[in-house]
Chain A
Amino acid sequence: MARRVTPARKATVTAAAWALGLLIFFPILWTILTSFKSEGDAVAIPPKFLFFHWTLENYAVVNQRSDYLLHFWNSVVISFGSTFAGLLIAIPAAWAMAFVPGRKTKDVLMWMLSTKMMPSVGVLVPIYLLFRNTGLLDTRIGLVIILTLIDLPIIVWMLYTYFKEIPGEILEAARMDGAGLRDEIIHVLTPMAVPGIASTLLLNVILAWNEAFWTLNLTAAKAAPLTAFIASYSSPEGLFYAKLSAASTMAIAPILILGWFSQKQLVRGLTFGAVK
């Protein structure tokens, strides 16, 4: 039986949701506001919220000092490249685990997840040596490979959860109609799982975009993405918070806009399979 929702209750819940949303968004808002302040206003005590001298100077300095477009393009190639490569491997893997599980499938899934539990820095030196010996240091392809491998467990897990929701009988029917394995995955399974695949794609693009350990440690001048762009404005000896905020705003803007436009898809995908 549906619960009756009174207007008062609705208003309370709405207000609470807005308050929580603003609370979570506040650090980003503060970064954006700080990017329009002078360095002096950025550290003013008490802090200035809206009433300060607005300036675009920080953006001008950042653009003059750094090659934003190069870093941006590197971020795009690395995040989308690693996500697509991950999906290519994960879709067949998740299909196998969801529709033809073996005795060890659960163990394999848990093992895959367990690889995420090791701190990245634990394998930094071996990976660095491998990259050095194969000439992959400071290359986009090197980062695509490493991020694909890192995000693969999450991609497989997400797709596995979505695929489990699809009735196996539909695939059986396709097989009865003469569909081969390739047709079954591409023409039957994939279209039904589009919301799940889309949300997996979006989430992994965001994860890869924000990844700041490998992208910082395996790059130098040529393949450095926006994470390195931000790091170049952070300084323990000198108050450059306004410039750092401008650089951060420029780095997160593309992914923020992408997330904004695809939020319905993202939420739908994330809750897909949640209601059992």
Chain B
Amino acid sequence: MTSTLRALLGACAVAGLATVASAETTITVATVNNGDMIRMQGLMSDFYAKHPDIKVNWVTLEENVLRQKVTTDIATKGGQYDVMTIGTYEVPIWGKQGWLLSLDDLPADYDVNDLLPAIRGGLTVNGHLYASPFYGESSMVMYRTDLMKKAGLEMPEKPTWDFIRKAADAMTDKAAGIYGICLRGKAGWGENMAFLTAMSNSFGASWFDMKWQPQFNGDAWKKTINFYVDMMKADGPPGASNNGFNENLALFQQGKCGMWIDATVAASFVSDPKASKVASDVGFALAPDNGLGKRGNWLWAWSLAIPAGTKHADAAKTFIDWATSKDYLKLVASKEGWANVPPGTRKSLYENPEYAKIPFAKMTLDSINSADPTHPTVNPVPYVGVQFVAIPEFQGIGNDVGQQFSAALAGTETVDQALAKAQELTTRAMTKAGYIK
């Protein structure tokens, strides 16, 4: 072989290797449109600096559209996405189906033991972690400290439902356009049913007993819905049956609500002086209870998971490791301040003295810690999930039951009628799905 030929072959080999080395892997990440996710898209230069061989395409969508798209894709093994943003509802179902890749082999510095136990529990199936939490949330009471003072009351750190009712009555001043309590009323499994399911846990109710029999004909549900409807009729804003998170957020920020029980993520919105007229007069408390051992708060974590059909599993894992690492939290803090760090995922964040200065940090952590997705109710149940039941049928059933309770709030049905219909339609759906033999 001549030296020229050798040199040429060598050059080809080097060129070939160089091509392989510089080959770029493109991954597609499907995500929801919320502040934390959008912030991450703005911080991608850090990821690209560390991983120049991976390019990320973003598909950002509204939550319900995203859920429909990623569910279709993963069920058909479409392979359009390499990383999906999913919640604590999907992970147990999809993990069990074998639709997600396990994240047990993330690098050691990911430090899986640093994840908050409640959140980690919600994302683990049969001992395997199937999604890495990006941010976690619970629900809590947000209230107007000035109106509470004016009413001559003091909010305890752990209020009861009776106190909430008393405070709502005292704060309501309809002539001045102030309503003692704002709660979700818009129908939907992720709307009013998220709130009412969590609330019902604290009243000792549950969706099903151990034999999957619906429980809407029991006293606990009757007490829950009567309490909710009575309080909202007396102290809630008009048209409350159309209000979801955003509507209540707008009302609270405009100073129209005395109290609002909703997602902990709202704390940063209502205490932001640029958006909220009442930013300096907001206090926080744990979601109420009835002394039965369960509080009326929920648990949710938007998390990153890898569908089993992906062709870029390694690059996807590298991305998830970066996006949900301790270093990412530090990166956000250095660029945007501690108040904008994605909350509710890691113990180390809450041990950080800088983060502890954030007014809602402790209450968010306490709320998350007081939720237990594996034992959500007073009596034992065959399902996991605090504000939902982690079975595929729940979206449909939850929407239908939500419509009944929204109608009860609007006054087009009585509470008894709504409960009877909820019982009937849930029994029918569960029998059809084979849970009730």
Residues of A within 8 A of B (CB): 39-40, 43-45, 65, 124-125, 128-129, 132, 137-138, 216-217, 220-222, 224, 228, 231-240
B246, A216: Cβ atoms closer than 8 Å? no
B62: contacting residue among A43, A224, A235, CB under 8 A: A235
A125, B76: Cβ atoms closer than 8 Å? yes
Residue of A nearest to B188 (CB): A236
A239, B249: Cβ atoms closer than 8 Å? yes
Residue of A nearest to B68 (CB): A217
B61, A228: Cβ atoms closer than 8 Å? yes
Complex Cα distance A210/B202, Å?
45
Complex Cα distance A222/B57, Å?
9
Question: Chain B residues with Cβ under 8 A from A222's Cβ?
Answer: 57
A-B contact pairs, 14 of them (CB 8 A): A125-B76, A128-B76, A137-B78, A138-B80, A220-B80, A221-B57, A221-B58, A224-B59, A232-B60, A232-B61, A235-B62, A235-B63, A237-B34, A239-B246
B79, A132: Cβ atoms closer than 8 Å? yes
Complex Cα distance A39/B69, Å?
28
A240, B68: Cβ atoms closer than 8 Å? no
How far, in Å, is B380 (CB) from chain A's closest CB?
32
B38, A220: Cβ atoms closer than 8 Å? no
Residue of B nearest to A132 (CB): B78
Complex Cα distance A51/B274, Å?
19
Q: Which B residues from 51 to 69 make CB contacts under 8 A with A?
A: 57-65, 68-69
How far, in Å, is A47 (CB) from chain B's closest CB?
11
Provide the B22-50 mask, 1 if CB < 8 A to any CB of A, else 0: 00000010101111001001000000000
A238, B61: Cβ atoms closer than 8 Å? no
Question: Chain A residues with Cβ under 8 A from B406's Cβ?
Answer: none
Residue of B nearest to A228 (CB): B61
Q: A128-B78, A236-B190 given. 18 additional CB < 8 A pairs? A: A40-B274, A43-B250, A43-B254, A128-B76, A137-B78, A216-B61, A220-B28, A222-B57, A232-B61, A232-B62, A233-B33, A235-B33, A236-B63, A236-B244, A237-B265, A237-B266, A239-B250, A239-B253
B190, A231: Cβ atoms closer than 8 Å? no
Knowing A45-B251, A239-B275 touch, does A220 contact B62 (C-beta < 8 A)? Answer: no
B245, A132: Cβ atoms closer than 8 Å? no
A132, B76: Cβ atoms closer than 8 Å? yes
B260 at the A interface (CB under 8 A): no
B253, A43: Cβ atoms closer than 8 Å? yes
Question: Chain A residues with Cβ under 8 A from B110's Cβ?
Answer: none
If over half of A's interface residues share one DSSP class (helix, strand or loop), that class is named, otherwise mixed; here it is loop
A238, B72: Cβ atoms closer than 8 Å? no
B120 at the A interface (CB under 8 A): no
B33, A129: Cβ atoms closer than 8 Å? no
Question: Chain A residues with Cβ under 8 A from B251's Cβ?
Answer: 45
B8 at the A interface (CB under 8 A): no
Size of the B side of the interface (Cβ < 8 Å), in residues, is 44
Complex Cα distance A239/B28, Å?
26
B69, A65: Cβ atoms closer than 8 Å? no
A231, B72: Cβ atoms closer than 8 Å? no
B246, A237: Cβ atoms closer than 8 Å? yes
Of listed A40, A228, A234, A235, residue having the most chain B CB within 10 A: A235
Residue of A nearest to B191 (CB): A236
Question: Chain B residues with Cβ under 8 A from A132's Cβ?
Answer: 76-79
B250, A45: Cβ atoms closer than 8 Å? yes
Question: Chain A residues with Cβ under 8 A from B28's Cβ?
Answer: 220-221
Knowing A124-B72, A232-B33 touch, does A45 contact B65 (C-beta < 8 A)? Answer: no
Question: Chain A residues with Cβ under 8 A from B68's Cβ?
Answer: 217
The 5 closest A-B pairs by CB, nearest first: A234-B62, A221-B57, A43-B250, A232-B60, A235-B33
B81: contacting residue among A43, A217, A220, A233, CB under 8 A: A220
B163 at the A interface (CB under 8 A): no
How far, in Å, is B272 (CB) from chain A's closest CB?
10
How far, in Å, is B4 (CB) from chain A's closest CB?
43
How far, in Å, is B8 (CB) from chain A's closest CB?
37
Complex Cα distance A221/B246, Å?
28
Residue of A nearest to B266 (CB): A237
How far, in Å, is B404 (CB) from chain A's closest CB?
21
Complex Cα distance A128/B28, Å?
18
B59, A220: Cβ atoms closer than 8 Å? yes
A137, B60: Cβ atoms closer than 8 Å? no
B246, A236: Cβ atoms closer than 8 Å? yes
B38, A65: Cβ atoms closer than 8 Å? yes
